[in-house]
Amino acid sequence: MTAVEVCAVALAAGEGSRLRPLTERVPKALCPVGNVPLLDRVLARLAGIGLTGTSRVAVNASYLAEQVVAHVGDRAHRSVEPDGPLGTAGGLAKLRDWINGRGVLVGNADAYLADPDRPPGPDIATLLQGWDGETVRLLGQPAVNPTAPGTFDGHAFTGFSLLPWRLVRDLPLEFGDLVRTVWRPAEAAGELTVVRYPGTFYDTGTPADYLTANLHATGGDTLVHPTALVTGRCRSAVVGAGARVHGAVTRAVVWPGATVAAEEHVQNAIRAGTDLTVVVSEPAAAGS
């Protein structure tokens, strides 16, 4: 695939402010989609191309870091940013000694990617094919507006990038983002390539996108964790571990341990605990 040694970093330090109040309880990287925490989806995708363990994969954490650290355990190297998130660039700078000369496959822990024709792994493997270890590669999809800010060669970023050591080693240990410090300069120098991602992608950054990703994960059906108790009616929904659903749930997500009482109808919403319901007025069509 490539002769260049590569490690991987899953970025999980952000506050997920757009997903509040859900992220006041759980860091965005651990929010479940299809009853699988987003971070676990990224780690599974990396494992699909042979990147596993503390020497090959790192996860950074800052906001609600103790939850991320406990969840990761010994599956990856853990890098804690105790004074607040350092951003996508600063987070890599803090991992400089661990990266130690290798190329870096960087994945956003809040990225939901799904391609039924490609099990976890091969889609991001295309980033590595024939890579010379010198250029920057981004996974992307054709943008609705190809000239909009935030696009690259007419594509919207879909959660994964591949960076050479020569650009990572000099990143300053301070807050910064990869767009300004690495991607745009590489683009200006003709050293950035967009690799097309053929599947479905949501960044899960807002309640609407988060709900839509969950609805996509159901495949149009309903996903109920084996430990959940459902005595009510569920349609196009995700019901998490230990949840109790006695009422009706339609196009909704019921978080692990949450409860829907018999008289309730949770619709186009996310239910957490017994007291928090985040309603989405018009979730996008799943798979769009």
Q: Do 75 and 169 belong together in one domain?
A: yes
Among residues 174, 202, 230, which one ends one of the domains? Answer: 202
Q: Do 137 and 267 belong together in one domain?
A: no
Task: Give me 7's structure tokens.
Answer: 């490690």
Q: Do 91 and 120 belong together in one domain?
A: yes
The average pLDDT across 189-215 equals 93
Q: With 90 as the cut, is the pLDDT of residue 121 above it?
A: no
Q: What is the pLDDT of residue 199?
A: 87
How buried is residue 267: exposed, middle or buried, by Cβ count under 10 Å (0-12/13-18/19+)?
middle
| Residues 103 and 164: beta-carbon distance below 8 Å | yes
Q: Specify if 286 maps to a domain.
A: no
Q: Do 146 and 18 belong together in one domain?
A: yes
Q: Specify if 1 maps to a domain.
A: no
The pLDDT tens digits of the residues spanning 42-81 come to 999 999 899 999 999 999 999 999 999 999 999 999 999 9
Q: With 50 as the cut, is the pLDDT of residue 29 above it?
A: yes
User: Residue 38: in which H helix or E strand, if any?
Assistant: helix 38-47
Q: Specify if 228 maps to a domain.
A: yes
The number of C-alpha atoms within 13 Å of 282 and in the hemisphere containing its C-beta is 0
- Taking alpha carbons only, the member of 91, 283, 260 closest to residue 204 is 283
| Residues 80 and 98: beta-carbon distance below 8 Å | no
**CA separation, residue 133 to residues 3, 167, 182, 210, 238 (Å):** 8, 10, 14, 34, 41
Q: Do 178 and 272 belong together in one domain?
A: no
Q: Do 218 and 195 belong together in one domain?
A: no
Please state, in angstroms and rounded to a whole number, the distance separating the CA atoms of residues 164 and 174. 19
Q: Do 159 and 193 belong together in one domain?
A: yes
Q: What's the mean per-residue pLDDT of the chain?
A: 92
Q: With 50 as the cut, is the pLDDT of residue 286 above it?
A: no
| Residues 35 and 225: beta-carbon distance below 8 Å | yes
Cis omega (within 30 of 0) for bond into 164: no
Q: Do 178 and 231 belong together in one domain?
A: no
Q: Specify if 114 maps to a domain.
A: yes
Q: Please report, for the domain that includes residue 174, its CATH number.
A: 3.90.550.10
Residue 287's pLDDT band (boundaries 50, 70, 90)?
Answer: very low
Q: What is the pLDDT of residue 16?
A: 86
Task: Give me 27's structure tokens.
Answer: 């860091």
Q: Do 189 and 73 belong together in one domain?
A: yes
Q: Do 196 and 212 belong together in one domain?
A: no
The pLDDT tens digits of the residues spanning 70-117 come to 999 999 999 999 999 999 999 999 999 999 999 999 999 989 998 766
3-state SS class at 245: strand
The average pLDDT across 205-215 equals 94
- Taking alpha carbons only, the member of 54, 56, 55 closest to residue 69 is 54
Q: With 70 as the cut, is the pLDDT of residue 282 above it?
A: no
Determine the structural domain holding residue 256 and report its residue range.
207-279
Q: What is the pLDDT of residue 131?
A: 95
Say what percent of the chain tops pLDDT 70: 94
Q: Do 169 and 224 belong together in one domain?
A: no
Q: Specify if 288 maps to a domain.
A: no
| Residues 16 and 23: beta-carbon distance below 8 Å | yes
The pLDDT tens digits of the residues spanning 124-178 come to 889 999 999 999 999 999 988 888 888 999 999 999 999 999 999 999 999 999 9
The region, left, alpha or beta by phi > 0 then psi within -120 to 50, assigned to residue 245 is beta
Domain count, the chain: 2
Q: Do 85 and 139 belong together in one domain?
A: yes
